[in-house]
Structure 1
Amino acid sequence: MCACVCLTKLNKDGMEALNRGDYLTATELLIQAAHKAEALGSDVLQAKIRNNMGLLMQAQGLHDQAVMNFRLAQRHTARRLGTDNSLYARITTNLAKIEGHENVF
């Protein structure tokens, strides 16, 4: 199986686990996806996974870890795509929500 396909499946399965409230499985799957994205050197994939990890941390009330993941996601996005795109906007909105600034966009 192609590394990107495997990574995408891990990410998708991780988010499905998050939506079910299975935080342990979600964490395991998203960490695996993050390692694969890093090995591939893909800033965009790393940004998407870090954003999802931020959502996972936020769901568990782990605000500092959520903020860290959202900021890493922003950096990966900005490095590859700049800041004028929907991915960066989505990450920035997620970060603003956790920092208490709901009306950023």
Structure 2
Amino acid sequence: MRPALATTIGVIATDATLTKAQCQKVSGIGHDGFARAIKPVHTMFDGDTLFTLATCARPARDVFGFQELLSAADDVVTRAVARAMLAATSTPGSTPPLRSYRDAFPSALG
């Protein structure tokens, strides 16, 4: 059986002031959210990627504030993937046709 070729790309955006290294750390922690919500994830055949953007509209956080931001990063990514999956629609015109979760399991949405 051949693996599915699928890449997931996302953005974590914050108004906090972050350094480049802190943005990289947020993205790395955000990948845990991919791992919770997507299977398989990070295979040799995909390019799952997260970018972190900081607008710097608010002052830099202390180490404990930054840890709070890290703790939220994986949760928001997990929730974003789940919301996207539930909002997706089928693509019957594609080759092959792709059925959405909503159409495949309508009773799950109550």
Q: Same fold (TM over 0.5)?
A: no
Q: Which has the higher contact order (CA 8 A, sep 6+)?
A: 2
The structure in which a higher percent of residues are strand is 2
The structure in which a higher percent of residues are helix is 1
**Which band: TM-score by shorter chain?**
under 0.3
TM-score (norm 2): 0.25
In our comparison, the structure showing a higher alpha carbon Rg is 2
